[in-house]
Structure 1
Amino acid sequence: MNATDRTPADLLQSALAADPARPLVTFYDDATGERVELSVATFANWVAKTANLLQGDLAAEPGDRLALLLPAHWQSAVWLLACSSTGVVAEIGGDPAAADLVVSGPETLDAARACSGERVALSLRPLGARFPQVPQGFIDYAVEVPAQGDRFAPFAPVDPTAPALVVGADGPALSGTEVVERARADAARRGLEPGARLLSSLPYDTWDGLSAGLLAPLAAGGSVVLCRNLDRLSPAEVDQRRATERVTAMATAPAG
């Protein structure tokens, strides 16, 4: 990655310039059997479309606060980078009532209705499928995002020193630059190098989960195998996945 990268969106653009065809996010949900693999180019396309939705249709502006109520999922990773691209502050598990807009999975819709601004719902069904019926008071991400543009340009340059990410209700507001610095430090601590494959089953509700599940591999020029419900697998099945996905590092919650 480039030393001049100052936001997570910059890291993605550097990855795109270096090798757009390599895998970036491989997602498993072991409750449904879903597997999705996104190259850098495909992931960046989703980010561009989502950023266009955020800036255009949702009229979000730099500094707006977005409560992100999503589990560890490839679409959650897309929203994190879309927020970085637009200068919107991603508040992980943030209070919808205090946010300018909210993005919710199916399990947090009731809480998300406390937001008085725009509300976006994700079904999190395999292949990014739509809700069978759009939840009342929300727009369906899967309906709105396909028509968005494949290229994104912010209306105003994103300030890398402005707040970009808040993790948890009491977490500090990290700037884009601080996020990149922390991600690079985590990558070094984990021994991640270009081409590394980090398997993470950590949730996205802590810095460690966000870092292992996207940011540190991205900062290192590596990729992530993001696993939801990995505890449904036997140790032998986990070992098989490690071998199949050519995993070089692991980030999993302690047993018990």
Structure 2
Amino acid sequence: MLSIDEHDFTIHKFQLLCEAIVATYPTVTMSEYMNKEHPARFVLMRHDVDRMPGHALETARVEHELGIRATYYFRSIKSVFKPEIMMQIQDMGHEIGYHYETLSEANGDPEKGIELFQSHLEDFNDVCQVKTICMHGRPLSKYDNRDMWKTYDFKDYGIIGEAYLSVGSELNYFSDTGRSWNNKNSLRDFIPNKIEDFTADTTDDLIDLIESCELENLYILAHPERWSLNMVDLGLYCGMDMAVNLVKKVLAAVRT
């Protein structure tokens, strides 16, 4: 029987990924990238905390021990918005941001959506000063939360940038959405108008690409809850990912 260390998307594999990064590239936070406070070669490390915030604390510790500074986007829902965890992660040198989904929460009503956004942002700013935001994809919702900024301007709320809308096409984007790095299972998890030139299926593939030094930069999204701490955790989340991928395929077929 394989041990957990031999599987992909485990905290052990995440450690190997981080070790490959620090051996090859400096890392920057989202706000540093948007303020152009970064070297020519870099890795921009991002985490969307969709659920299980305790896992975010584990990935943050791995990164902190290796000298990686990343950006963590937390949802505003009660099960994820945990100020004590957010402050611990921030104290490690990581950036905390708001993973907003208020247009979906408002059933597509931009006015109600922006009211919810402002209210939630105030809650976040009571914990830490939010500089950047990132939409939550909400695949079961027909609304793209980024569309709220067609009506409003996030800069009016003290935000310097949005993790999809404010990044440049020069970034090489890799997301673990769907339990792969090739973005094939993403409905909304992509940079608009960006054609990806490089892909990776497994984390080992991504590590190989990092170690090749072929790219000037990498923009990596890793969801902390996906990186399992034990075999039970691995089995549960693997099954969840398979179910979600199936639903996404159905939704993609219906919406085309």
> What TM-score comes out, normalization by structure 1 length?
0.33
Would you tell me which structure has more helix in proportion to its own residues? 2
Question: Which structure has the highest strand share of the two?
Answer: 1
Q: Greater RCO between the two (CA within 8 Å, min separation 6)?
A: 2
